């Protein structure tokens, strides 16, 4: 695998296909633990019993039949988190695809489920290894039996995808304030053909924490629009066509500042070998690295970095080349900022991310859903953080699914809670 200035380019050497773990837990932070889900009963508060039934979506009926999953998906991992709390409940479905949990306190719950086929299952069914996912945020309350059904979508054929997003910074007291210059994101060619990045657009969707600026009802229609995603902050890759190829299984790294950040703090990455540079306020410029072009209706730059890579509940998208200023303004938020709708036929990939702040969510619940499920069935990246605590040194990374034709194929079930994990920073590498 060629290496340039510490950044890996292209696919890694071929290796034996390893057994893909069924476990797809996203939140790797220390506040999470495996528990039965039983909470202490509180006098006067009714408790619910929830049965979650996990199936493949109807369009995958033939796949379910080939795998023997006609009644439901066995061995799927189901994750639940009550809003305003910090402990995930993690269960596995039985042979009929069901998982049952008792004594649930009423409240708003994040619920998502996922499954990776094992190598043995793939071999027996004469199929490639596939991934499946779905999720929902829903109210659970009242005493007695309740049920919830999740229909897992399967991974989609490869294209250009977002493979990693990082906005980690060291503790403020160690670097004299916030430090966003080492933020970065990656794109990965998940297809079997050479593509060109020239003019492609990376942007941020309407925030699911919209109640900070207004009310969730104000953005409900735009967050659930099946015709596209709404954005105000966007970056375009340079080039007029044919200048910036990306081959099958290759990665391109886009850094906020393409320099070595280790002199600032030893835990920060060396991004001097990045392929592209974003530039934010006060960020150093590497003249050898081509700059991204700010094409949004409002600048992506803020006093604290870039709203493109914010850790709040937000989606990131990658789209075919287009000029945002040629699209009509379709939405204005309560901060009087204008948004355009990026048409669905231009969208290559959408990734949803969320940081969970229990104390904050008790006062201001998040807006749901984040994005229409045609684009993103459920967001991931669930840091579970108490107010005032620093985040662990983690980035949001898409998981490897299988090896094919000497290249890595990454999971792309349009369910970021399943496709991605939280792991140590690995700029230039895909995650296995």
C-alpha pair distances (Å), 244 with each of 170, 200, 240, 256, 290: 33, 11, 9, 19, 10
Is residue 24 in a domain?
no
CA torsion 408-343-58-377 (nearest 10°) is 70
Is residue 15 in a domain?
no
Query: Looking at the predicted structure, is the pLDDT value of residue 188 above 90?
Result: yes
Is residue 17 in a domain?
no
Q: Comparing 429 with 290, which gets the higher pLDDT?
A: 290
Among residues 105, 128, 154, the one where a domain terminates is 154
Among residues 119, 154, 189, the one where a domain terminates is 154
Residue 284 CA to chain centroid, in angstroms?
Answer: 28
- Is residue 178 within 8 A of residue 205, CB to CB? The reply is no
| Residue from 29, 50, 28 nearest 39 by CA | 50
Q: Give residue 323's pLDDT.
A: 96
Q: Is the same domain home to 141 and 193?
A: no
Q: How many CB atoms lie within 10 A of CB 6?
A: 14
- Is residue 87 within 8 A of residue 31, CB to CB? The reply is yes
Q: Is the same domain home to 85 and 165?
A: no
Q: Give residue 360's pLDDT.
A: 75
Which has the minimum average pLDDT: 59-63, 76-80, 191-195, 309-313? 309-313
Query: Looking at the predicted structure, is the pLDDT value of residue 405 above 70?
Result: yes
Is residue 38 in a domain?
no
CATH number at residue 110: 2.60.40.1120
- With a pLDDT cut of 90, the percent of the chain lying above it is 62
Is residue 18 in a domain?
no
3-state secondary structure (DSSP) of residue 363: helix
Winning range, highest mean pLDDT, from 54-58, 361-365, 380-384: 54-58
Is residue 8 in a domain?
no
Q: Is the same domain home to 193 and 249?
A: yes
Q: Is the same domain home to 322 and 376?
A: yes
Q: Is the same domain home to 110 and 169?
A: no
Q: What is the pLDDT of residues 189-227, one digit of tens each?
A: 999 999 999 999 999 998 876 555 557 888 889 999 999
- What order of strands is seen across the sheet that includes strand 184-189? 276-277, 251-255, 184-189, 160-166, 395-398, 420-423
Which has the minimum average pLDDT: 184-198, 341-355, 384-398? 384-398
Pairing of strands 144-154, 48-56: parallel
| Residue from 249, 241, 239, 240 nearest 291 by CA | 239
Q: Is the same domain home to 127 and 192?
A: no
Q: Is the same domain home to 199 and 222?
A: yes
Average pLDDT (398-427) is 95
Q: Is the same domain home to 111 and 55?
A: yes
Of the pLDDT bands very low, low, confident and very high (cuts 50, 70, 90), residue 302 is low
DSSP 302-329: ETTEEGGG-SSSEEEEEE-S--GGGSPE
Is residue 30 in a domain?
no
Pairing of strands 201-205, 228-236: antiparallel
What is the average pLDDT score of the chain?
85
Q: Is the same domain home to 105 and 216?
A: no
Is residue 287 in a domain?
yes
Q: Report how many domains make up the chain.
A: 2
Q: Give residue 304's pLDDT.
A: 57
Q: Is the same domain home to 148 and 162?
A: no
Between CA 416 and CA 414 the distance in angstroms is 6
Q: Is the same domain home to 82 and 167?
A: no
Q: Is the same domain home to 115 and 184?
A: no
Q: Detail the DSSP E strand segments found in 183-328.
A: 184-189, 195-196, 201-205, 228-236, 245-246, 251-255, 276-277, 293-294, 301-302, 305-306, 314-319
Q: What range does the domain containing 61 cover? A: 48-154
Q: Detail the DSSP E strand segments found in 357-399.
A: 380-384, 395-398
Among residues 154, 182, 211, the one where a domain terminates is 154
- Is residue 364 within 8 A of residue 212, CB to CB? The reply is yes
Of the pLDDT bands very low, low, confident and very high (cuts 50, 70, 90), residue 8 is very low
- The token pair at 166 is 């990082």
């Amino acid at each position: 695998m060629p290496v340039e200035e510490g950044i890996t380019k292209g696919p890694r050497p071929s290796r034996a296909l390893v057994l893909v773990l069924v476990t797809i837990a996203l939140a790797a932070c220390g506040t999470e633990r495996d528990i039965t889900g039983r909470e202490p009963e509180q006098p006067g508060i009714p408790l619910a019993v929830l049965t979650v039934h996990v199936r493949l979506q109807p369009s995958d009926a033939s796949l379910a039949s080939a795998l023997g999953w006609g009644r439901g998906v066995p061995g799927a991992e189901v994750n639940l988190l009550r809003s305003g709390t910090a402990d995930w409940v993690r269960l596995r479905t039985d042979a009929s695809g069901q998982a049952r949990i008792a004594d649930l306190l009423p409240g708003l719950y994040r619920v998502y489920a996922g499954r990776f086929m094992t190598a043995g299952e793939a071999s027996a069914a004469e199929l490639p290894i596939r991934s499946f996912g779905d999720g929902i945020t829903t109210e659970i309350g009242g005493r007695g039996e309740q049920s919830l059904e999740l229909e897992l979508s399967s991974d989609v054929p490869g294209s250009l995808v977002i493979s990693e997003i990082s906005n980690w910074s060291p503790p403020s007291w160690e670097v004299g304030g916030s430090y966003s210059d080492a933020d970065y994101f990656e794109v990965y060619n998940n297809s079997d053909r050479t593509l060109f990045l020239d003019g492609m657009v990376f942007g941020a969707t309407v925030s699911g924490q919209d109640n900070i600026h207004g009310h969730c009802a104000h953005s409900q229609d735009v967050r659930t629009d099946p015709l596209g995603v709404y954005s105000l902050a966007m970056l375009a890759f340079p080039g007029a066509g044919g200048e910036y190829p990306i081959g099958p299984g290759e990665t391109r790294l886009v850094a906020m500042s393409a320099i070595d950040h280790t002199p600032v703090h030893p835990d920060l990455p060396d991004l001097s070998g990045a392929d592209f540079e974003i530039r934010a306020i006060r960020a150093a410029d590497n003249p050898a690295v081509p700059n991204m072009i700010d094409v949004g209706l409002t600048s992506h730059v803020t006093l604290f970095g870039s709203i493109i890579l914010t850790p709040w509940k937000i989606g990131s998208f990658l789209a075919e080349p287009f000029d945002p200023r040629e699209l009509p303004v379709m939405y204005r938020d309560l901060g009087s900022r204008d948004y355009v709708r990026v048409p669905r036929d231009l969208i290559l990939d959408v990734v949803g991310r969320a940081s969970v702040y229990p104390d904050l969510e008790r006062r201001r619940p998040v807006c749901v859903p984040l994005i229409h499920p045609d684009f993103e069935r459920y967001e991931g990246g669930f840091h579970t953080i108490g107010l005032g605590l620093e985040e662990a040194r983690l980035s949001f990374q898409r998981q490897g699914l299988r090896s094919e034709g000497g290249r890595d194929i990454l999971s792309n079930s349009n369910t970021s809670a399943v496709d991605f994990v939280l792991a140590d920073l690995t700029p230039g590498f895909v995650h296995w």
